Structure 1
Amino acid sequence: MKRIISGLFICSCSLLTAQTSINSIFAAGLEDAERFTTDYLAPFSESTVYGFSSGWYNTADAKPLGGFEISLVGAVTSHKNKEDKQTFVLDPNEYQNLNFVQNPGMARPVSSALGGLEGTRVFVEGQVAGLNVRQEFELPSGISAEGLDFVPSGYLQVSVGILKGTEIKARFLPKIAYDGASVGLIGFGLQHDFTKWLPADKLLPIAISGVIGYTKLNGDYDISDIGLVEGANQRIEAEMNSWAFSAVLSTKLPIINFYGGVGYITGKSQTDLLGEYRVTSGPFASETYIDPFSIAENVSVVTGTVGAKLKLGFFRINADYNLGVFNTATLGVNFGFR
């Protein structure tokens, strides 16, 4: 469980925290290992982009000049009941060496980094010094096998009113280190309230805004001490960049308000497996891989958000639900002026 938590802090490193040996994955050869890892990590990377791209607004009513709000935002991106994200189809005919122990040559669903399928055994075989060598191992499961049906995210966000109908936003998560892993986040946003330009703005019960937000997440994970593969300087470096564009509508009432928006998220995550890895079993036992591969995942999707915000003086609290390929629930605790 400790390794799973570390993996959640860093975008897209579940492969190394799953209950399997990376040495087994490399036993299939570098090309097969990269193909499998790409498909295995893709849903996890995608859900992480969604989670860290949410929470940019809790109203369409932009703050006036000098108005500010400091928010502690937490979110969970759920993959429960999303079978197409918890598994992917592995076709041995698309691999050079990897095959299933039972019914070899037949494609079937296997667990992704989000999934919970366990007990899927595969093998690789080949000639070594004139002798046939066969290596069997079990494919990794995912975080659902640990009882986790969501990917968490969180950050501190600040919003400040500057010009008429315009506020700027910044979000950050200071570099946090835990059990060999570290992660940090920074982001910037802009919100403009178009209704502020209308003559009857103060009389209107609603506000309409446009919001743009950029988020960048960096993480690294030192895996040298895990002891899964012989080698040196073994680590993961992960980076996620995303843009969120939203059109937002909200009420303008004194205490409780409701808001909703339609948005578009586009982003990219990249995971680099770095260091030296020496395979010690199977037909590729003599192979050594340096900085084996880099995996990139692109995300583009339309989303919808509904939420509510309670305002009690300088203290505010909001909750919303973001609908998309993955659904994200967000809770914000806010302190503000004006």
Structure 2
Amino acid sequence: MKKTILILSIFILNFCYGQQNIDDLLAAGINDAQRFTSDYLRPASDGLMHSMNNGWFNTAKSKKLFGFEISLIVNSAFVGNDNKSFVLDPTNYENLDFRDNPGEARSVATAFGDIENVIVVVEGESTVPGLPAQDAEFELPTGLGGSNINFVPTAFLQASFGLIKGTEIKARFFPKVKTNDAEVGFYGIGLQHEVTSWLPADKLFPVAISGLIAYTHLDGNYDFTNTNIVQGENQRFENDTNTWLFQVIGSTKLPVFNVYGGIGYLSGKSTTDLKGTYRVQSGVISSETIVDPFSVESEVSGVRGTLGAKVSLAFFRINIDYTLAEYNALSFGLNFGF
């Protein structure tokens, strides 16, 4: 569990951003820092939204009245090579430029990249009349690619409960966990209805078809005030992520082994705020105190397709499926129920 909490802290609270770079980036000005951070973090935020929406179903057959199932679900969304870097064009920045070949656009690492030794320069301002300005020079952060990490994991408990004919309600939950510096909370709720349950020959029909609507929310914060990376107070990241999933599901209805699949549409938004007070020691805002510097947002939307299989043995079931989407994902579930 401790390892899971650490992983969630890394990806959900954007710890992979590297607090040591905050002072450097803010030296370039708030607008430049916000633009870079948005591009740098986007694969982590988008991958998270895809990962946390897997595992909502393992069959299209709805449970009978008062039937229930408790599941432990582990997901992993994979980050492709095209999301491990982005093109930084200095002409789109106010103060940031490359030390080598200034003015020319080049690829730099995202949170999942591995591009090192990229040095940028920020033209400083003279704080003493008659003395030259002191430029700020620093290396852009690399990502997790050097550690061969190219996935965003999530894990949680999920419960399903049969209601009226053909309808079941689902809820997923990761308990609010607080470590010394980080806090993460996660929950979701869904409603699945089996269309084929209304057919006259439902029991003879070999395939079940249903629809699913699900909402998922995640929030967390990471306080790095005590790291003393940059002077200030109450320094922290705050993340708020919300997603909607609309899914059509089909599955076989055999006693032991079944296959299932579905076509769905995912829509989500993740917002990460840099909060607190900052007193940057160099660059264009070295003489200012900054409060709540910036907020970055990332949105996902698109069609996804899922194919999986489930084995049922009495009250124990195991399932695995793979989803094709902007961020492909693998899901594994252990299920107990009646």
Q: Deviations over 1:147-185 (max 9, x none)?
A: 211111111100001011110001111011234111111
1-side partners of 2:270 and 2:284: how far apart? 32
Query: 1:23 aligned to 2:23?
Result: yes
SS of structure 2 residue aligned to 1:114:
coil
TM-score, length-scaled by structure 2 = 0.94
Query: 1:42 aligned to 2:42?
Result: yes
Who is 1:165 aligned against?
Answer: 166
TM-score, length-scaled by structure 1 = 0.94
SS of structure 2 residue aligned to 1:281:
coil
SS of structure 2 residue aligned to 1:201:
coil
What is the identity, as a one-letter code, of the residue corresponding to 1:16? G
1-side partners of 2:81 and 2:297: how far apart? 22
Deviation for aligned residue 1:13:
4.5
Alpha-carbon contact 1:212-1:243 (below 8 Å) kept: yes
1-side partners of 2:27 and 2:309: how far apart? 52
SS of structure 2 residue aligned to 1:280:
coil
| TM-align CA RMSD | 1.6
SS of structure 1 residue aligned to 2:282:
coil
Identical-pair percentage:
51
Alpha-carbon contact 1:9-1:181 (below 8 Å) kept: no
Alpha-carbon contact 1:261-1:306 (below 8 Å) kept: yes
What is the identity, as a one-letter code, of the residue corresponding to 1:93? T
Who is 1:109 aligned against?
Answer: 107
Q: Which runs of 5+ in 1 are unaligned?
A: none
Alpha-carbon contact 1:6-1:178 (below 8 Å) kept: no
2-side partners of 1:106 and 1:160: how far apart? 58
Who is 1:51 aligned against?
Answer: 51
SS of structure 1 residue aligned to 2:10:
helix
Alpha-carbon contact 1:21-1:229 (below 8 Å) kept: no
Alpha-carbon contact 2:68-2:161 (below 8 Å) kept: yes
Alpha-carbon contact 1:9-1:183 (below 8 Å) kept: no
Map 1:247-326 → 2, pairs under 5 A: 247-326=248-327
Q: Deviations over 1:273-311 (max 9, x none)?
A: 100011012343222210111111111110000000110
What is the identity, as a one-letter code, of the residue corresponding to 2:72? L
Deviation for aligned residue 1:41:
1.1
Deviation for aligned residue 1:5:
3.7
SS of structure 1 residue aligned to 2:192:
strand
SS of structure 1 residue aligned to 2:24:
helix
Alpha-carbon contact 1:4-1:143 (below 8 Å) kept: no
Who is 2:218 aligned against?
Answer: 217
Map 1:89-128 → 2, pairs under 5 A: 89-128=87-126
Who is 1:8 aligned against?
Answer: 10
Query: 1:208 aligned to 2:206?
Result: no
Alpha-carbon contact 2:13-2:238 (below 8 Å) kept: no
What is the identity, as a one-letter code, of the residue corresponding to 2:218? L
Alpha-carbon contact 2:13-2:222 (below 8 Å) kept: no
Deviation for aligned residue 1:133:
1.5
Deviation for aligned residue 1:236:
1.1
**How many residue pairs align between the two structures?**
332
Quick check: 181-190 or 121-130, which moved more?
121-130
What is the identity, as a one-letter code, of the residue corresponding to 2:242? N
Query: 1:197 aligned to 2:235?
Result: no
Q: Deviations over 1:254-285 (max 9, x none)?
A: 01110010010001111111000110123432
Alpha-carbon contact 1:70-1:156 (below 8 Å) kept: yes
Quick check: 222-231 or 325-334, which moved more?
222-231
Who is 2:67 aligned against?
Answer: 67
1-side partners of 2:316 and 2:101: how far apart? 61
Map 1:176-187 → 2, pairs under 5 A: 176-187=177-188
Alpha-carbon contact 1:28-1:97 (below 8 Å) kept: yes
SS of structure 1 residue aligned to 2:51:
helix
Who is 1:237 aligned against?
Answer: 238
